[in-house]
Amino acid sequence: MVLIQLVNGLMEGMTLFLIASGLTLIFGVTRIINFAHGSFYMLGAFLTYELVPLIGPGTLWGFFAAVAVSAAAVSALGILFEMTALRRIYGKDGILQLIVTVALVLIIRDLVRMTWGANSVPVQMPDALMGALVVGDTYFPLFPIAIFAAGLTVVLAMIWVIYFTRAGILLRAGTDDRGMVALLGVNEKLIFTAVFAAGAFLAGLAGGLSAPYGEVNYLLDTTIIVSAFIVCVIGGLGNLYGALAGALVVGVTKAIGVMYFPRLSMVLIFLIMAAVLIARSLGRQGGPAR
Amino acid sequence: MLEKKNTVAAVVLAALATSAGAQDGPVKVGFAADLTGACAALSEDGLNGAKIAAEEINARGGILGRPVELIVRDTQTKPDEGAKVARELIAKDRIDVLTGVCSSAVMLAESAVSAELKVPFYAAIGSTQRANIELYQPYFWQVQANATMEAYAAAEYVAKKPEWKKISALGSDYEWGHTSVAAFTERLKELRPDIAFADPIYAKVGETAMAPYITATLAQQPDAVFAPLFGPSLGATLKQGQGFGFFQKTNLVTLMTVDTLQSQGVSMPADNVYGIARAPFFALEQSPEVTAFIETYRAAYGEYPTDWAINAYDGLNFYAAVAEKAGTVEADAIIAALPQVSFDGLREKGLTIRALDGQMNAPVYVGKAAKVEGYDFPILTEVEKFEGAPLMPAEDLILQAREAAR
Subunit contact A139:B211, Cβ cutoff 8 A: no
Question: Which residues in chain A touch residue B177, judged by CB atoms under 8 angstroms apart?
Answer: none
Q: Are B258 and B306 in contact (CB under 8 A)?
A: yes
Cβ A243 vs Cβ A18: under 8 Å: no
Residues of A in contact with B172 (CB under 8 A): none
The interface pTM score, or ipTM, of the predicted complex is 0.77
Which residue of chain A comes nearest to B265, CA vs CA?
A122
Choose between B358 and A264: higher pLDDT: B358
Residues of chain A with Cβ-Cβ distance to B38 below 8 Å are 219
Res B19: pLDDT: 43
Q: What is the pLDDT of residues B299-310, one digit of tens each?
A: 999 999 999 999
HEC-encoded secondary structure of chain B: CHHHHHHHHHHHHHHHHHHHHHHHCCEEEEEEECCCCCCHHHHHHHHHHHHHHHHHHHHCCCECCECEEEEEEECCCCHHHHHHHHHHHHHCCCCCEEECCCCHHHHHHHHHHHHHHCCCEEECCCCCHHHCCCCCCCCEEECCCCHHHHHHHHHHHHHCCCCCCEEEEEEECCHHHHHHHHHHHHHHHHHCCCCEECCCEEECCCCCCCHHHHHHHHHCCCCEEEECCCHHHHHHHHHHHHCCCHHHHCEEEEECCHHHHHHHHHHCCCCCEEEEECCCCCCCCCCHHHHHHHHHHHHHHCCCCCHHHHHHHHHHHHHHHHHHHHCCCCHHHHHHHHHHCCECCCCCCCECEECCCCEECCCEEEEEEECCCCCCCCEEEEEEEECHHHHCCCHHHHHHHHHHHC
Query: B156 in contact with A at a CB cutoff of 8 Å?
Result: no
Distance in angstroms (rounded) separating the CA atoms of residues A180 and A183: 5
Q: What is the pLDDT of residue A282?
A: 55
**Using one digit for the tens of pLDDT, what is the confidence trace for B168-208?**
999 998 888 999 999 999 999 999 999 999 999 999 888 88
Structural domain B148-277+364-395, CATH architecture:
3-Layer(aba) Sandwich (3.40)
CB-nearest to B235 from A9, A120, A255 is A120
* Nearest of A110, A83, A86 to residue A100 by alpha carbon: A86
Output the pLDDT for position A272. Answer: 86
User: In chain B, what residues touch A130 (CB-CB under 8 Å)?
Assistant: 242
Element containing residue A38 per DSSP (H, E) = helix A37-51
Q: How far apart are CA B297 and CA B316, in angstroms?
A: 15
What's the rounded Cα separation, in Å, for the pair A220 and A113? Answer: 11
What pLDDT, on a 0 to 100 scale, did the predictor assign at position B297?
Answer: 97
Give domain limits for chain A: 2-279
Cα distance between residue A98 and residue A21, in whole Å? 20
Q: Integer distance in angstroms from the first to the last C-alpha of chain B?
A: 59
Rounded to a whole number of angstroms, the distance from the CA of B80 to the nearest CA of chain A is: 20
Q: What is the pLDDT of residue B10?
A: 47
> pLDDT tens digit string along B22-53?
567 999 999 999 998 878 889 999 999 999 99
Q: What local confidence, expressed as pLDDT, does residue B23 receive? A: 60
Compute the nearest-CA separation of B55 from chain A (Å).
24
Nearest CB to B259; choose among A119, A122, A266: A119
List, run by run, the mean pLDDT of 10-residue segments along chain A (290 residues). 85 91 89 93 96 90 95 97 91 87 94 88 86 82 90 90 88 79 83 93 95 88 89 85 90 86 77 82 48
Q: Do A223 and B201 touch (CB under 8 A)?
A: no
Query: What 3-state DSSP class applies to A290?
Result: coil
What is the C-alpha separation between B269 and B238, in angstroms, rounded? 7
pLDDT at residue B330 greater than cutoff 90: yes
- Kindly report the nearest CA distance between residue B139 and chain A, in angstroms: 31
| Cβ pair B215:A255 closer than 8 A | yes
- Name the phi and psi angles at B64, rounded to 5: 50, 35
DSSP letter for A53, please: T
Confidence at residue A214, expressed as pLDDT on a 0 to 100 scale: 83
State pLDDT tens for residues A9-18.
Answer: 998 899 999 9
- Domain at B2-145+286-360: CATH code: 3.40.50.2300
Q: pLDDT above 90 covers what percent of chain B?
A: 79
Determine the average pLDDT of the residues in B235-243. 90
Compute the Cα dihedral for A116, A119, A124, A125 and give only its sign: positive
DSSP A212-251: TTS-BSTTHHHHHHHHHHHHHHHH-TT-HHHHHHHHHHHH
**Could you report the per-residue pLDDT of B55-73, keeping only the tens digit for each?**
999 999 999 999 999 999 9
Interface test with A, best of B207, B213, B238, B250 (most A CBs within 10 A): B213
> What is chain B's length?
406
Q: Give me the pLDDT at residue B38, please.
A: 79
Domains of chain B, residue spans: 2-145+286-360, 148-277+364-395
> What whole-number distance in Å separates Cα of residue B153 and Cα of residue B346?
20
Listed as own residue / partner, the contacts of B52-56 with beta carbons closer than 8 Å and 24 or more positions apart are: B52/B293, B52/B296, B52/B297, B52/B300, B52/B313, B53/B312, B53/B313, B53/B314, B53/B315, B53/B316, B53/B317, B53/B320, B54/B29, B54/B316, B56/B317
Antiparallel, parallel or unpaired: β B201-203 and B273-277 = unpaired
State the count of interchain CB pairs (< 8 A) between A and B.
Answer: 111
Taking the model in full, what pTM does it have? 0.83
Q: Regarding beta strands B68-74 and B97-99, do their DSSP bridges make them parallel or antiparallel, or are they unpaired?
A: unpaired
Q: What is the pLDDT of residues A116-136, one digit of tens each?
A: 988 788 888 888 888 788 888
pLDDT at A281: 59
- Class of the domain covering A2-279: mainly alpha
Name the packing angle between helices B288-301 and B307-326 (round to 10°): 120
Q: Is the pLDDT of residue B2 over 50?
A: no
Quote the pLDDT of residue A7: 86
| Beta strands, E only, A59-145 | 132-135, 138-141
The CA distance from B383 to B365, in Å, is: 6
Average pLDDT value for chain B: 91
